[in-house]
Structure 1
Amino acid sequence: MPLPPLETTSPIAWQYTAEGGANLVVSFAGPADSPFSGHALRLRKRKKRAGGVKGGEDAVPSEVDVEFGARIIAPLLGEANVVVMEKVPLSRDWLEELVEDMRAQGVRPAEREAEDEVDLDTPEGVVVEDLIAGRGVIAVEIKPKWGFLPSPTHLSPSTASMKTTYCRTCMHRHYKASDGEGSDGFCPLDLYSGNSARVHKALEQLYGSWMSSEGGINNLRIFLDGKKVLPGNADQASPLDYALDHLTTSGPPASPISRASLFAHALAPTLLRTPALPLLRELQSLLDVLYIEGLASLLSRTTGVDLARHFGPEEVQKLGGQPRLDEWIEWVGRYSPLLGRQQGGESSPLSHEEWDQSKATLESRFLASSTSDEGSPSPPWRDAILAYLLSATFKDCSLIIRLPLDSAASTVGTVKAIDLDPKPMNRLGKYWRMDREIVECWKERLERMEAVGRAGEVRQCREG
């Protein structure tokens, strides 16, 4: 049954929950008998610029933004692994009252408030199941990051050894640390590995970083009873400790057990059983089969666009402009079978042999000198761009692990992916520059460690 208009609710019944780069989320905190009970509202944001609006070349078409999850993401990642979304019309007056209430409460982080704002001109919002809400529920948001090492096929000789030995996330973390940010030691390849010991290790490292940063890291957030939890006094047990201990009564390791281990033992059974992690890793790697180096080389050779130079509105238009919904739908229709997805069927990870075959076929399609498929309306390089942008979406998403504390419930919870928004094409130049800078920073680190005879101390990343 469709939801009633948002105007049937008071804006003050919606409470700020969280926000990312593109969206701000508020949760319904009104009457339990409301149709909106147990739901959250996702609102688009805009940068604070002259005129208060995005530049036209930056914007993702609105019909793509609101339909992307159901029409593009769900067929690839599986409907069971994403939240159901419903579009709702927005009234500017209602939005203004909501924004004013949030401003009066001071709930947004100061840096976010200075950088962007809710887009009061957007005509629609998205209502989703609130995965955080609920009494007696722990909800954990993890941003799993990149889950693969690239193939050396399309890498330059100067970068191939590093990129196939150290994962992008570990190198990126060092790059940020060199600018003064913290380093957490978390390697996503451990989280994606499917190996119990490595998954526990990844979760313990995430929790340790969450504690040391006082909840400030962007790849782990914890909610209890619908409210965000921050690290407490290390010498005192918190409600979160009691909740985690409850979840691990079926057999935690022998006492004493650290809080990080308690956290890992509570979440690991769910993450080891969910298909969401292997599916994300698979989609990230197959859709980024050329990596940014191979894509840049392909575009330079076939279109004359050089990602290493200025990449502005003219270059975006030369490459066909920001994809619209009908192009995305057509692309997914053609490429889903190559990714092992069958129409109407549930998604499941490919076997090793199937993955190799899909990889080879995708490379052949993207690198073809002309359109080899009569049914394809776009050149191969355009298909490769859409694949890369889609891979970027899967690399940047978050997982919500929802664990009920009801003693009658299983300790294995549910997992859903969120923040699966389309990426603007004008970021291709940024992706290329960032790749160069991260690799150069990592190379300098290896050279320094080698100079003092400590090169062996740099941890290597490994898949599987």
Structure 2
Amino acid sequence: MSDIIGTRDQSSVRAYTQPLDIDLDANDWMYHHEGNENILFKYIGSSGGSHSMLQGQILRLQKHNVPISGASEDDGSSTSDSKMRERTLLQLYHDRSTFSHDVIGRLLGEKYILPQRLVRVSAYLISQLNAAAASQRPANRLHKQADVDQALGVLIPDMSGDGQRLSIEIKPKWGFLPTSRSVDPVKHRTCRYCMHKYLKHSADKASGFCPLDLYSGDSERVEQAVDALVANPQNNFRVFIDGNLVDSSPVQAVAHWDVFKSVLVGILVEDGVLPRLADLQRSLDRLDIEGVYPEYLAALRSGALSGAEPSIEDWVTACSTYISCEQDSVVSDKQAVLEFMLSVTLKDISMMIQIDSWPPQSLEDPKPSYSIAIVDTDAKKLSKMTMYLERDQAIVKNYLDLFPDTAQQTQCTE
């Protein structure tokens, strides 16, 4: 496994410094994006004075369920309780940073992981941000909002760009076909995404995108994958121009789209992140959920795993053990489960590609500089193992119900 893994610099272990203590104004931030656990706000304020460090930054806040109407979010907790919550948050963010840098970064490449910095936030600021963002948020996200009780937020570089920069966000998904003999044979033919899309959408609305084309390293297949993503993005492909999300088709929105597409395909083929990502997904998930779930139950019975989520020490140790082991070596039940969970994180990351100065001065031989960042790198919840199995079974059953004959099934190719 060492051929795809860099050695770990022990001096690079990340620890959060003391949070920035700076006066934040809600008017300086605009709603940017959100996932299930976090909501992001983009800095649009002044670049002068003490706020210069906020230029080009995104503020990430944790979300929680919207309180029941009439209920107060202020529980009247004491100062000591507030300090305890802050210490808990500091530890949480330290663990997340360590996981991103010293686990995912160690596996995938430290250069792809964005730096992070803590900043103090007030309940008043968060309430204002929630109110300002309400009309811009997707309807299916409104049951949650930024938690006003969090005393800390996270600042990360804004990869959506500004000025003449153009950014692409891609969710590459699963990059391999399982080889384990313990899985349903259909998984050897049809990739997870190409089965899953029929559970989420009817056949006539299903995307033509196959992640294995994107990972293939073949220019024609990668271009085919990009075309499919553009035709039916389904939250897997987003374009930002001057830092703003493009709502229309990028074919019309991006200047000289055909030239840009060839540049994007070249980056995806030539940069090493996609083949490394696919290799990691595959080698960390040797058994598939069908094979690893019995090991999960065995680890619970033996006490190797408990009902609690793994500690950051567990993740760092699992990463080190994975790197030091030979391919296909026998590992403990706990190690097999944690490796599978690392693969789950890697299957759900997003890739941000920021291209400087588009359109370029010359369209004949455009070679703009670019940078790539891997985001959404938080550890997945071990408590969802049963859900992963049940979802997998539902995906396969639905696909086989729709396409019972092998001849009808999509033949995906790595």
- How high is the TM-score relative to the length of structure 1? 0.73
1:5 equivalent in structure 2: 20
**Cα distance, 1:414 vs. partner?**
2.1
Partner residue, 1:128: 156
1:268 and 2:219 correspond: no
Aligned to 2:63: 45
C-alpha contact 2:33 2:40 (8 A) present in aligned 1: yes
Cα pair distance change 1:413/1:123, threshold 3 Å: same
Give per-residue Cα distances to partners, 1:259-297, cap 9 Å, x unaligned: xxxx63241011111211112111111111111011112
TM alignment of 1:312-323, pairs within 5 A: 319-323=306-310
Partner residue, 1:36: 54
| CA 181–48 in structure 1, closer or farther in 2 if over 3 Å, else same | farther
The residue type equivalent to 1:268 in the other structure is V
Q: Would the aligned equivalents of 2:307 and 2:383 in 1 still touch at CA under 8 Å?
A: no
**SS across alignment from 2:53:** coil
Q: Is residue 244 from structure 1 mapped to residue 261 from structure 2 by the alignment? A: no
Query: Secondary structure of the equivalent of 2:353?
Result: strand
Residue equivalent to 1:460: 411
Q: Give the Cα separation in 2 of the matches to 1:5 and 1:62.
A: 14
Q: Where do 5+ consecutive residues of structure 1 fail to align?
A: 54-58, 211-216, 249-262, 306-314, 339-356, 366-379
- In the alignment, does 2:389 pair up with 1:432? yes
Quote the sequence identity (%): 29
1:288 maps to which of 285, 299, 312: 285
Give the letter for the 1:117 counterpart.
Answer: Q
AA aligned opposite 1:108:
R
User: 4+ residue runs of structure 1 moved beyond 6 angstroms?
Assistant: 1-4, 49-53
Report the CA distance shift for 1:166/1:68 in structure 2 as closer, same or farther (over 3 A). same
Aligned to 1:374: none
Query: What is the alpha-carbon distance in structure 1 between the residues aligned to residue 282 and residue 227 of structure 2?
Result: 26
- How many angstroms apart in 1 are the aligned matches of 2:256 and 2:309? 46
Using a 3 Å threshold, how does the CA distance of structure 1 residues 406 and 392 change in structure 2: closer, same or farther? same
1:98 paired residue number: 129
State the match for 1:325 in structure 2: 312
Asked if the contact 2:19–2:120 (Cα under 8 Å) also holds between the matched residues in 1, the reply is no
The alpha carbon displacement at 1:419 in A equals 0.8
Which residues in structure 2 correspond to 1:73-222 (within 5 Å)?
Answer: 73-103=104-134, 106-113=135-142, 115-155=143-183, 159=184, 161-178=185-202, 182-210=205-233, 217-222=234-239
CA, structure 1 residues 96+71, in 2 after alignment: closer, same or farther (shift >3 Å)?
Answer: farther
TM-score w.r.t. length of structure 2: 0.82
Following superposition, the deviation at residue 49 of structure 1 comes to 7.1
State the AA in 1 paired with 2:182: H
1:61: how far off? 5.0
Instruction: Decide whether aligned partners of structure 1 residues 99 and 436 sit closer, same or farther in structure 2, where only a CA change above 3 A counts.
Output: same
- Please give the alpha-carbon distance, in whole angstroms, between the structure 1 residues aligned to 2:42 and 2:117: 15
> In structure 2, what residue type is equivalent to 1:21?
N
Instruction: Report the AA paired with residue 199 of structure 2.
Output: Y
Deviations 1:221-259 (CA, angstroms, capped at 9, x unpaired): 111111010125x9xx84x242535xx2xxxxxxxxxxx
8 Å CA contact 2:180–2:288 kept in 1: the answer is no
Q: State the superposition RMSD in angstroms.
A: 2.9
